[in-house]
Chain A
């Protein structure tokens, strides 16, 4: 009786690995064109990195707005099949004719869950919340984020006490919790495979020279994004971690570990815009705080230049060309930066209450770790190779991109998925 997809003149099947904005876009766009699309996501929810963001540049609009529309399209479309807590175990075949084996890790919460929250109130486990980069605490049973899809709780098996506790099992009014759940596998035959595994932040623990891990008041851009979010660790208040006071001065350090042979030789393309955006968070919330940004080149391509101009127009926000060579502790609450002015060659010290490192993007999954070992470039991003595996890369698995460019790229990948299916048809 449930809604059946109507026939369409585009036909075929698609497997998308990754349920962030790129993967969701590939699946939804392809499904609306007529393909049956399976999204495989390793975490318990769709949404990926954009779910962690407070605002998008350059409109300073909320990511939940676009995410909601995409989820609405996805929920309403019987051609999209979502597999969370799932990984691609193996893959064989070629375009038009792939065999995939999916491995589903147990969620320990079944489809009956209504996200009523009763379980969270009784869960005794207190763990570091990785969604907030350790800046907040969470329970063993949790909803990954407010717009999580599916809107169902999941249990972190690494910290759950299972049968020794089982308080959630007793309190759940709909018998949704099953601590005995086991991993399962599914076999899928699909005409196209898209890898949209996205990115992770460059590991800032390599940046001790820039004070990360040395001084509490040195955070990464993604940590700062969580701090500014109303659903984040401080409820959206910008605070210096050492004493939770509002910072009087904030310094953004661009290319922290990027364009640097010792770290990432490439540029991540979005960190300039992200920092420009984050200067507006500080300006809106702390009108008296001084804000400085040290950069090598400001990269605000295309119409994003308007946003750079807008950021420059803010009172008390300065942009200085300079290379931050070293970050140390001035005292418990103050960070000292040693900055070389690359124009004059002058080296000077700058003190700040809060330092934000603009760290770059690293592919979440290296192509050589994937089945069939698709082609990759010298810095580890995937390369489309129609004559080779025929696996299609989309979004930040292919190159560092902002959200709009990821969506653009993912839409094109959806077309390639249709073509990949057509190949089978035309070959007989």
Chain B
């Protein structure tokens, strides 16, 4: 059965791109527009991986990571933060929130697949 990825970003064009890229690599993709939407969707269906943007309205990426880690289902599932900031500050915040790792934006689609495959196979 195909692995299911939750892609969270408030930008429709980025979502389309991520969705298309991951599907072409054989994954199933669910899209969410911000942290709140993502949390609802993550609770309703088991996701194998969560890929989230940082800057979003209502609930940002770090907030989402923290909220997900509270759920038993997502205590140790892979969560990646897409960030435009590669500085040590963002990285440590991500780590503190409990993310599995980070991916710098803008990213090449192949890099995205590479990272996801490292986590999901």
Q: Are A and B interaction partners?
A: no
Chain A positions within 8 Å of B, measured between CB atoms, are none
